[in-house]
Amino acid sequence: MKLITRDTDYAVRALIFLAQEQKRIISTSELVSHLRIPRPFLRKILQRLNKEKLLKSYKGMGGGFRLTVYPHRIFLLDLIEIFQGPLRINECIFRKRVCPNIKTCKLKEKIDSIQRYVRSKLKDITLEMLLKRE
């Protein structure tokens, strides 16, 4: 299980850079240059963030992207779920089917508790907190 995938990592890095430059529109070329992220990956990530309304895109000469949400309102858990889907530590799959013991499983209760804890900790981490660490 990988908690943070490459796409989520790239998204966080791009958002941090954009948040540091809030007053201006940043081109994809500038992001690629500063972040050293391959252009095709970065474009896909920026388009997704734009679709999710975290960024606004500007077309044409002088075009690029700008953050539309304050950094304290962007949560790491939300970014994980945008790029990776719902966070699940255990899906209770056994031989490609839902485990027949799902309602009585003691291990599931413990893992669900861990999952709630991890989710709450990830929900506490904001882009603003990550900016302060830069």
pLDDT at site 97: 78
Per-residue pLDDT tens over the stretch 15-33: 999 999 877 999 999 999 9
What is the full DSSP assignment across 19-31?
A: HHTTTS-B-HHHH
pLDDT grade for 134, boundaries at 50, 70 and 90 = low
Q: Which two tokens stand for residue 62?
A: 């002088």
pLDDT at site 65: 96
Whether pLDDT at 38 is above 80:
yes
Whether pLDDT at 59 is above 80:
yes
pLDDT at site 122: 96
Whether pLDDT at 109 is above 80:
yes
CA distance 10 to 87: 18
pLDDT at site 71: 96
> What b/e sequence results for 67-82 when a residue is b if at least 16 CB atoms lie within 10 Å of its CB, and e otherwise?
bebebeebbbbbbbeb
pLDDT at site 94: 64
> What b/e sequence results for 104-126 when a residue is b if at least 16 CB atoms lie within 10 Å of its CB, and e otherwise?
eeeebeeeeeeeeeebeebeeeb
**H/E run at residue 97:** strand 97-98
What is the full DSSP assignment across 18-82?
A: HHHTTTS-B-HHHHHHHH---HHHHHHHHHHHHHTTSEEEE-STT-EEEE-S-GGG-BHHHHHHH
| 52 touches 73 (CB < 8 A) | no
**What structural domains and CATH numbers belong to the chain?**
6-87+125-133 (1.10.10.10)
